[in-house]
Amino acid sequence: MFRNVGVTNWVFQQDNDPSHKAAASIIKAWNSKHHGVQVSLLADWPGNSPDLNPIENLWAWAQAEVDAKGCKTFQEFKNCVFNTLQNAPKQLLRNLVESMGRRVRACVENNGDKTKY
């Protein structure tokens, strides 16, 4: 999906929850199989940090869209997720990107505590 729009290097961010320990080895294996694309893991991101990443909002939107379709098989589900994300409204994506300044500002104003985002 990203390579189709010219993005070949990107950083995977996670919150370092103990359940995410496999990410580093999974990313390493993925990189070895996908030449020309490089994914790196954002190191030393504190656990329980405020989630500033608007992708969570996109996932929530996509989940509601997919749930509404009522997929009956795993293949239908996979196709639905792919098509839903592929056809995400451009304005939704713009709004999420444009919210970053407000997200960071709210985090700073709350001294790193929870925000409405």
- Give CA angle at 83 (20, 52), nearest 5°: 40
| Identity at 117, one-letter amino acid code | Y
Q: How confident is the model at residue 83 (pLDDT cuts 50, 70, 90)?
A: very high
Ordered by start, the domain boundaries in the chain are 3-41, 55-109
pLDDT tens-digit map of 24-58: 888 899 899 988 889 998 877 666 556 677 888 89
Its pTM stands at 0.56
| DSSP string computed for 38-77 | EEEE-TTPPTT-----THHHHHHHHHHHHHHHT--SHHHH
Q: Average per-residue pLDDT in the chain? A: 85
Most confident of 12-16, 56-60, 63-67, 101-105: 63-67
